[in-house]
Structure 1
Amino acid sequence: MNTGNRRQLPLASAGCSCCAPAGAAEQATTLTTPAAQQPPAAVADPDAGTSFQRDFAVEGMTCGHCVRSVESAVSALAGVTSASVDLVPGGRSRLTVKGSASDADVRQAVAGAGYALA
């Protein structure tokens, strides 16, 4: 995984569900993001056969640890060739998944990491 082009972001003041004291995650997930920053729906890759790329919106992520938690959980799914997150601290971050894993499996992996798809 190449993370060399990602900026290091500070921990948001409310914390996050992976690093903050109890109750801070609920505060972080109540923030809203303008429609222009919301990720698009799934994008099919016709050259990949049954494998394709989809984008999901994930709420509640605020730091690099959140990103690693979600990327690791989704990457571990059978059929996933890559998973990456474009972090929008306190808003809706974009999770890009390449592979043939079902949307339900991706949703379950994200939930298992402590976050929710929007």
Structure 2
Amino acid sequence: MCGTELNEATPAAPAATLPLAESPCACCSTAEAPAAPVGFDSAAATTSYQLEGLTCGHCVQSVETAASRVLGVKSATVELVTGGSSILRIAGPAAPSDIQAAVVEAGYAVAPA
């Protein structure tokens, strides 16, 4: 098969010294496919929103707090751009309409995409 099989002239080695899981040969290996990394969460994708009307740290805190309360939000962070469009980054599977509603309820506007 792969050249690693034992023939009758070769005495069999004890199983402890030749574990199949450590075999470099794919046909002999019993190792399972690697699992996803620990802590990996495909639902934690990041979505960005452009916001208008934020002018200070209090505005940032208000939006982050409001967005963090939305179902599905793992984290909410705002990059403040005074006099321009600030960026709200949401990690998690929250519905965009819910995020937009939370921002509006906090007193700010979501810029058109």
**TM-score in terms of structure 1 length:** 0.58
Is the partner of 2:62 in helix, strand or coil?
A: helix
* Bigger share in helix: 1
Residues 75-112 of structure 1: CA distance to partner in whole angstroms, max 9, x if unpaired?
01111000000000121001000011100000000000
**Aligned counterpart for 2:62 among listed residues 58, 69, 82:** 69
Distance 1:48 1:92 in 2: 29
Is the partner of 1:80 in helix, strand or coil?
A: coil
**Aligned counterpart for 1:84 among listed residues 77, 86, 105:** 77
Corresponding residue for residue 111 of structure 1: 104
What 5-or-longer segments of structure 2 have no aligned partner? 1-39
What 5-or-longer segments of structure 1 have no aligned partner? 1-46
Distance 2:107 2:100 in 1: 11
For the pair shown, which has the larger CA radius of gyration, 1 or 2?
2
Spell out structure 1 runs of 4+ moving beyond 3 A: none
Is the partner of 1:57 in helix, strand or coil?
A: strand
**TM-score in terms of structure 2 length:** 0.61
Corresponding residue for residue 48 of structure 1: 41
Is the partner of 2:89 in helix, strand or coil?
A: strand
Count of residue correspondences: 72
Q: Aligned-pair RMSD on alpha carbons?
A: 1.0
